[in-house]
C-alpha cells in the first residue's frame, strides 16, 4: 500500500513539474521490455542446458523442505541423488510428481549435477514462447 502512495506522489510531482503522461508510460514500457528480454535470455539459457542434458530413468524421491524458501524435487539417478534445477510449485504437487520411475534429463557441469523433469520442460517451453510474445508486443510501443 505504501508503494502505491509513493508512486502516486511521484506521479503528481512529475505532473507538477510539467511532464506529460506519454514519456512516463514509455519509460515504464521500456523497463518492462528490459525485464522481458532478461527473462527470455534466462529461458534461452535454460533451454540450451536442457538440450545438452541426457535422458535418464530416475526414481522420484520426494520434495525437500530444507532448501530455504523454495522446495525442490529430488530424484535418484544411477544411485546418485540429484536435485531438480527449478523449484517446485505449491499447487498440484500430487498431479505433477509421481512416485514411480520417470524419465528426466540429466545435466552434469563440473561439480554441479541437475535434473530436468517434465514440469521443468513445460516451464522452459512456456517461458520461451510467452516472453517472446511479450517482447514482440512491447516492441510495437517502445
Residues in the chain: 142
Q: Supply the pLDDT for residue 110.
A: 86
> Which of 2-6, 39-43, 98-102, 137-141 is least confident?
98-102
pLDDT at residue 97 above 80? no
Residue 80 lies in a domain: yes
Residue 7 lies in a domain: no
Residue 94 lies in a domain: yes
Residue 77 lies in a domain: yes
Residue 46 lies in a domain: no
Where in the sequence is the domain holding 85, given as residue range(s)? 55-120
Residue 19 lies in a domain: no
Residue 65 lies in a domain: yes
pLDDT band at 91 (very low <50, low <70, confident <90, very high): low
Collapse the DSSP code of 78 into the 3-class scheme (helix H, G, I; strand E, B; otherwise coil) and give the result: coil
Count of domains observed in the chain: 1
> Which of 2-6, 45-49, 96-100, 134-138 is least confident?
96-100
Element (H, E) at 48: helix 21-52
8 A C-beta contact, residue 120 and residue 97: no
pLDDT at residue 102 above 70? yes
Residue 35 lies in a domain: no
pLDDT digits (tens, 9 = 90+) for 17-72: 888 878 778 888 899 999 999 999 999 999 999 999 999 999 888 887 766 677 78
Amino acid at each position: 500500500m505504501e508503494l502505491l502512495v509513493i508512486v502516486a506522489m511521484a506521479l503528481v510531482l512529475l505532473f507538477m513539474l510539467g511532464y506529460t503522461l506519454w514519456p512516463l508510460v514509455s519509460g515504464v514500457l521500456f523497463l518492462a521490455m528490459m525485464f522481458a528480454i532478461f527473462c527470455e535470455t534466462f529461458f534461452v539459457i535454460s533451454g540450451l542446458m536442457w538440450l545438452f542434458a541426457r535422458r535418464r530413468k530416475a526414481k522420484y524421491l520426494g520434495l525437500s523442505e530444507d532448501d530455504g524458501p523454495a522446495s525442490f524435487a529430488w530424484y535418484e539417478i544411477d544411485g546418485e541423488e540429484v536435485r531438480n534445477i527449478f523449484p517446485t510449485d505449491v499447487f498440484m504437487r500430487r498431479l505433477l510428481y509421481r512416485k514411480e520411475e520417470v524419465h528426466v534429463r540429466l545435466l552434469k557441469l563440473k561439480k554441479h549435477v541437475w535434473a530436468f523433469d517434465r514440469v521443468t520442460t513445460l516451464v522452459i517451453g512456456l517461458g520461451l514462447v510467452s516472453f517472446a510474445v511479450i517482447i514482440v508486443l512491447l516492441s510495437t510501443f517502445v
